[in-house]
Structure 1
């Protein structure tokens, strides 16, 4: 197929050359332009003769041409597309420059040189354009992609900023200590914000004359130190203050609005205030209650009655996770382990409370 294409191409070239050179050739052969009229349509005869002769020549050198084309094809296929593209762009640019400067060169008052010089300049600029485009392909690719990369980078930075939520810690959740374990498990993401006024409150508690308060304050400071040094969490100390506000809880709510963040707390009252003011809140007790084992009415639990309840005849027991169980008629079993049947479950942000009655009483009925 390639051989036939080469032969056809040379036949077309021969036809074109014969068409344009036929009249001149016949004039030379006849030695007189007046006799040219005896030969009808010399350009067409020249085209036929040119086609015939060049087609005959292809039988001798078609093989060499085909091998050269195949070799060129193999080399071009191995060249990366970017190299070919930018080399071609450089070649086109060089030829455009040569086309623009060709008229002045053609008008130079130098016979012979003015006709050859534009051709040489075109070849030189085309070659230089190809080499420059090929050699500078990496830089050109960087220039063309810089705008898109900057746009993508800006979009990514915006997404990163949007994804980094500020979690503002209050005093109660720091002293509680469970926040460190939650951060370690990876359930809490974003930036932990510790306001300076919360640190001051912790410092006052740690300096209290009351031993219990002093221990709680020091525990809170130790928890913060642990979060900063041991955990892979970004911690931000917010140095600002809201001097017009005196209450720490009110400052936390105001700071959450400023930073568009969430308040992390154990304080039931602060939880309610945040909800009323439209501030998102994360209550550690809610999380703890959510992961506690589910107890449904009618289930049987074995517990130890520890003390009496507020109402007459009630007994109080606790699960391993600290959930309080109020046992109707359980006062007489104080100090004993008994099986109870769950009657109802009360769930609030302050915790969970289970109401039950002795299984022995159920059997007696």
Structure 2
């Protein structure tokens, strides 16, 4: 049925085109065949007999060409539509939407500019066509390439809609309870949100680190540990690496996850939420944290900064470790083993059991010896703590 409809319209179009083209030749017909009949005016139709004959002849020729050529054109059109459908099927839906929006914006700009240049003699009729092609392509290309940045400009819309929905629910609840409207962010009964509804998102680095399992065993972590599927996929990719060190780290991370799920006091959930438009795992984690309103547990310094800039709370394992380390004061003594030379001449370096570095003045001469040192100062940084000491006088 569709083929018949297409064949009819193709035939009709070529018949009209043929009649219009041969009508242009009617002056030549009256010029070479000078008879009164051809020059006769058709009255109400306002055309000459020559024009009418040319239009009829052109329509017949165009219709015949369209009738016999339409099956070939229909086959080509079907192949083209299948190719377009295949290409669109390969593209993510957000790319298709971005391309459609970009094409619309490009054509609007092309129409506005084309109207301004349309009155230029000779070339004015062609400039709008050129503008439509150029700006249409630019609109598609730019919006697809910059879709993440453009989407970031409208991140406030979901948050606004969410807050609006909460306000409506609060108003409805207030109406049901006789006008006692709850404060924003607090349930109607005045109690704090349940702890098991607070999500903590684990990133790859903190899972491989392993200390999170010990922290969970202590019961200091409240809420639910949310592990995204893209973090699991990254762990599996690391565990399958050809590099021995990476493979060991990946398998350690999987073992830590298994330990957390089986032996800790914290509830663990796996979410299949993924963001196909984002390539980096850290960026996906930040986006998920924004959606669920959770906190990210990490020891990655860069992820810590990016998440804070995007408004996602972060729990840094390294900061927690530094906070619970024993405090040392100048004048305190301790026994340590000098294991290597320092950066400055004569310095020696030792380590406490928790990994804290001790820089010992004039400690190089005591290499590989266990000596008594006296603390002179301590330096606390985001990366950790460093203690400066000198050999104690015994």
Scaled by the length of structure 2, the TM-score of the pair is 0.50
Residue 249 of structure 2 corresponds to residue 216 of structure 1: yes
Residue 283 of structure 2 corresponds to residue 241 of structure 1: no
Verify the 8 A CA contact 1:261 1:280 in the aligned structure 2: yes
Q: d(CA) in 1 for partners of 2:190 and 2:202? A: 25
Q: After the TM superposition, which residues 1-365 of structure 1 pair with which residues of structure 2 at under 5 Å, given as runs?
A: 155=188, 159-161=192-194, 164-360=197-393
Q: d(CA) in 2 for partners of 1:156 and 1:173? A: 37
Quote the offset at 1:218 in angstroms: 1.0
Q: CA 1:311–1:276 in structure 2 vs 1: closer, same or farther (change >3 Å)?
A: farther
Verify the 8 A CA contact 1:283 1:349 in the aligned structure 2: no
Quote the offset at 1:200 in angstroms: 0.8
Quote the offset at 1:169 in angstroms: 0.2
Quote the offset at 1:163 in angstroms: 6.3
Verify the 8 A CA contact 1:167 1:262 in the aligned structure 2: yes
Quote the offset at 1:235 in angstroms: 1.3
Secondary structure of the residue aligned to 1:278 is coil
Q: Could you tell which deviates more after superposition, 158-167 or 196-205?
A: 158-167
Verify the 8 A CA contact 2:196 2:224 in the aligned structure 1: no
Q: CA 1:196–1:157 in structure 2 vs 1: closer, same or farther (change >3 Å)?
A: farther
Q: CA 1:172–1:157 in structure 2 vs 1: closer, same or farther (change >3 Å)?
A: farther
Q: d(CA) in 2 for partners of 1:250 and 1:260? A: 15
Quote the offset at 1:281 in angstroms: 0.8
Secondary structure of the residue aligned to 1:282 is strand
Verify the 8 A CA contact 1:313 1:331 in the aligned structure 2: yes
Verify the 8 A CA contact 2:334 2:373 in the aligned structure 1: yes
Verify the 8 A CA contact 1:342 1:354 in the aligned structure 2: yes
Q: d(CA) in 2 for partners of 1:327 and 1:275? A: 37
Quote the offset at 1:204 in angstroms: 0.5
Q: d(CA) in 2 for partners of 1:196 and 1:156? A: 35
How many residue pairs end up in the alignment? 212
> Unaligned stretches of 5+ in structure 1?
1-146
Quote the offset at 1:232 in angstroms: 3.0
CA offsets 1:92-144 (integer angstroms, 9 cap, x no match): xxxxxxxxxxxxxxxxxxxxxxxxxxxxxxxxxxxxxxxxxxxxxxxxxxxxx
Q: d(CA) in 2 for partners of 1:165 and 1:289? A: 25
Max radius of gyration: which structure? 1
Q: d(CA) in 1 for partners of 2:253 and 2:391? A: 41
